[in-house]
Chains A and B, each alone.
Chain A
Amino acid sequence: MAWDAFIPSHTREERCLSDLKIFFASDIHGSEVCFRKFLNAAKAYQVDALIMGGDITGKMIVPIVAIDQGRYTFEWLGNPYTITADALAEHIRQIRMSGIYTYLTDPDEMIQLEENPLLVKDVFRRTMKASMVEWLELAEERLSGSGIECFITPGNDDDLALDEAFIGKNVVCNPEGKIVHIRGEIEMISTGYSNLTPWHSPRELDENALYEKILSMASGLINPRCSIFNLHCPPYDYGLDIAARLDKSLKPIAGIGGVEMGPVGSQAVLKSIQVYQPMLGLHGHVHESRGAVKVGRTLCVNPGSEYTEGILRGCLVLINKKGVRDYLLTSG
C-alpha cells in the first residue's frame, strides 16, 4: 500500500508532488540577447525548468544590399551605412541583438521584394525558421546534461512553419497542444494561440475555438488543480491584459489626459482557468501589462516584455507540495 493511501482522497488530489523552481519568460520577439539571457537564467536563478511562453520570432527585417564586390549598404536606426565585408558580421550581430533580422540581398532582388509582398513573406518565413533552428541548437548545447528541462511554445505571432524546427530535439520541447510533465510530475498544458487580434497573426482562434482547444487538453489532466496552464493569451480583464485601445486604422485612441487603455485578453482563457482552477497560469502577449493576480485560487502571471531594450522580463515560480509557494517577477 502506498504511503499516501492514508491521506484523504480530496487532500491527495490537491497535493502537488514536488519542490520545483521554474523560470518563465515570454514575447522576446527575435531578440538574440533575450534568448541567450533566457538560457543563462537556468544557471543564474538555479531553476529546474525553463518555460518560454510564445512570440519568439521578430517582426522586422533589415535588408543588407550587396552593392559591389565586398561592399554592403543598409539603413539602421535612421542612419545609412556602407560597410566592407570585414565589418559585416559585427553589424549583423548588433542588429540581431535588438530582435531585428538581417537579410543579405542584391539590388535586383531588392526591387522584387519591394514589389511583391509574397516574396517578403517568404523571406520572413525562411529567416525566422533559420533563426529558430540556430537558437534551438544553442539551447540543446547549453542545457544538454544539465537536467534542466526547457519548454518553448510558439505564440500567436510565430509562423506555423516554426514548429518544424523543434522536430528531433532532445532537450527543448514544444508543448503546444499537449499535456507535458515537468520533471515527470507536474502536468502542464500549453497553447500559443490567442483570441482574434486586429493584426490577423498566424495563430489566432475565436473565443469558442480557443476554449475548445484548451478544453481538449485540460480534460485529459489527472490533477488539474495542481497543473500549470501555459496559455500565451492572458485571462480577460484581470489586469494582465491592459493595452492601448485602437481605432479602425490601428492607431491608439488618445484623448484628454492620455491614451485610452482597455482589456484585450481572452474570455476562453479566463473561463478555462475559472473552471479548472490550476495552481498556476503562465501568460504573455500583452507586453505592457506586467503583473501577477489571483483568479480564484490560480496565480496568473504575465512578466511583460522589454525585448527592444534587451531586458529579459520573467517570473520565477517556487512550487512545493501545497502548490505555488511564491513567485518573483524579474527584470534581468
Chain B
Amino acid sequence: MDNIQQAKVSRPFFVREATGLVRELSWFDTFLCGFGILNVALGLVQAFAYAPFVFPGSNMAIAFLIALPGAFFIGLLNALFTAAMPRSGGDYVWVSRSLSPVVGFAVNFFATFGVIAAAAVNIWYMASNFLAPALYVMGFQGAASWVASGPAAIIMAIPAIAILVLIFSLGLNVVRRVMLVLFIITGIGTIVWLLIMLLGSNTSFIAGFNNVLGANAYENMIQTAATAGRTVDPTQTGRNSFYAMIYAFQMYGGFQMIGYFAGEIKRVHKSAMQAIMTALGVGALFFILSSLIVVRYFGAEFLGAVAFLANAAPDQLGLPLGAYISNMVIYMTQSRFLQIIVSLGFLATITWILLPQMLIITRNMFAWSFDRLIPSWVAKVNERTHSPVNATIIAGILIYIMLLVTLLTQFWAYLINLAGVGALVGMLVAISAIIFPFRRKDIFEKAPAIVKGKFLGLPWLTWAGILTLITQGLLTFIAFTTPAIGGAVNMVSLLSSLAVFIIAFPLYLIPYYVNKNRGLDTSLVYKELPPE
C-alpha cells in the first residue's frame, strides 16, 4: 500500500522529450513581465490633468483604491479566459466563440479604434506636453513654444509616425530593444521625479514656482481659477473621489493584456493569473503612493486650479508650457541636469506607450486578414525585412488621419461618450464570460481546475463575468451621467458614439457575403466540428 501511495504522489504522469516542453517562468520573471507594462508617470500625468477638473475635490489615491476591486474582476476574467483558451488571442476570439463571430469582431473593432484614437492623442501630446518641456529645459525655449502649438503637432507627428513605422519595419527584435531603452530612460526619469517630490515639500515647490513666474504666482493661480468659476463642494468630495475611479480605470487599463503572452509559456493557468495580478498589485501600489506624493508636493488646490484653467479657461492659465504636471519640472528643481533627466523620462514614457499600441493595431489587422475580413495583402510580410510593413504603414496612416481629425474637426464632440461606449462594449465581454461555461461546455470541460472551480454553484469564470459586468455597468453609468466627461447625453450623441461599434457589423457582413459569393464561406472559421 505504501508503494502505491508513493507511486501515485511522486509520479502522477510520465512525459517524453518532445518539442515545446519548456520550464516554467519563476515568480520574479512573471513580476518583471508585469512590471514592464506599468506606465506610472504617464498615468499620473493624465489622471491629474482631468480628474481634478471633472470631479473637483476628488482624491486620486482613494479613486485608485476604489477602482482596485473592479480592476481585479476584469483581470480575473482575462486570466481565466486566457487559462481556458491560452492560444486563442484575446477578446476577439473569446467573444466570437462565446457569443458570435460578428459580435467578437465588433468588440475588437471598437477596441482597435480606441487604440488608434489613443495613439493619435498620444502623438499630439508627445509634441505639446512632453517634447516641449524637454526642449525648454535644454535651452531651446523658442522651439519649445512652437512644438507646444497645435499646428506644430500636425507637422511633428509626421516624423514621429515615420520613426514608429521604421522601428516596426525593422522587426520585433528592434521593437523590443527600443522598448527596453525607453523603459530604462522612463524608469530613471520617473524615479528622479518621484525623489524630487519625496525629498521636497509643497513649500519648496511654491518657492520654485514663484521663482520662475513671479511672487505669489502660486496663490494667484488658485485665485484665478476661483475667479474663473472653480468651486469645490466639500460635501461632494467623497462622491467625486468615487466617480474619479473612471480615470483610475483608464490608468489601470492594459494590465490585463499581459495575459496574452502567458499563452506562450508552460502552465498558463498559473502564469496568466500571476502576471495579471502582479501587474495590477504593483501598479495599484505605485499609483496610490505616487498620487499621495504628487498631491503632497504640488498641493490639491493648485492641481485643481491648473486642471480647471487648462480645461475651462486656457487663456487664463498663464504658464510658459502646458498644464500637465510633466511640464512642472521647470519649477521643481533648479538643476538643469535633473530637469533634463526628468523631462527626457517623460518624453520616453509617452513614446514607449506608442509601441504596444502600434503592436495591438497591427496584430488585430493580421487577425482580420486571416479571417478574410480585410484583404490579405494587409498582412503581407516584407520579403527583405520579414516584417509586416503594409500593416505597419496602414496603422501609421490611420493614426495620422485620426490626429488630423482630432485637431482640425469637431470629431470628439460627436464621439462624446467614447469612454461610456467602451464600458458598454466591455459589458459584452463580461456577458460572453458569464455564458461561456454553458454555451461552450466542450471547451470549458477541458479547462484547468482554476477555471472550472465553482462558488455557490457557479463557475469562477461566470462569477468573474458577473462582477465585471457590474463594474463596467457602473463605469457606463458614471460616463453617461457626468457631462464633463461626455457632454449631454441625447439620442444624437449616443448614436454618434455607438456608431463606431455599430459600423463594425457591416464591415464584417459585407466581406462575409462578398467571400460567400466567391465560394468562400467565412462562417466556417468558427464552425463547430463534431467530436464523435
Contacts and interface: CB of A to CB of B under 8 A. Distances in A.
A328 B515 CA distance: 10
B11 A288 contact: no
Given A237-B386, A243-B264, A292-B376, A251 B449 contact: no
Nearest to B15: A60
Given A200-B17, A249-B23, A257-B37, A111 B3 contact: yes
Contacts of B372: 326, 328
A145 interface: no
Given A44-B527, A255-B32, A261-B264, A55 B19 contact: yes
A328 B531 contact: no
A276 B13 CA distance: 45
A107 B7 contact: yes
Contacts of B16: 59-60, 120-121, 124
Given A288-B264, A311-B443, A329 B180 contact: no
B519 A318 contact: yes
B503 to A, nearest CB: 24
Contact of A255 (B36, B370, B371, B527): B36
Contact of B531 (A79, A296, A305, A310): A310
Contacts of B371: 329
Contact of A114 (B10, B17, B93, B97): B10
Contacts of B532: 36, 40
A168 interface: no
Interface string B366-380: 100011100010011
Interface residues of A, number: 92
B234 to A, nearest CB: 43
B32 A256 contact: yes
Q: Is the interface of A mostly helix, strand, loop or mixed?
A: mixed
B159 interface: no
Contact of B8 (A74, A120, A291, A311): A74
Interface string A128-145: 000000000000000000
B492 interface: no
Given A107-B3, A311-B443, A251 B525 contact: no
Interface string B112-150: 000000000000000000000000000000000000000
Which of A98, A107, A250 has the largest count of B CB atoms less than 10 A from its CB?
A: A107
A251 B24 contact: yes
Given A260-B176, A308-B446, A288 B4 contact: no
Contact of B529 (A44, A79, A113): A44
A3 interface: no
B4 A67 contact: yes
A332 interface: yes
Given A65-B4, A67-B4, A329-B370, A309 B15 contact: no
A238 B36 CA distance: 27
16 contacts: A36-B530, A55-B19, A65-B8, A67-B1, A76-B12, A111-B3, A244-B264, A246-B22, A257-B37, A290-B370, A291-B370, A304-B87, A306-B88, A309-B446, A310-B443, A326-B520
Q: 10 shortest A-B CB distances, which residue pairs?
A: A75-B12, A257-B36, A256-B36, A332-B529, A254-B29, A251-B23, A37-B529, A110-B7, A258-B261, A59-B18
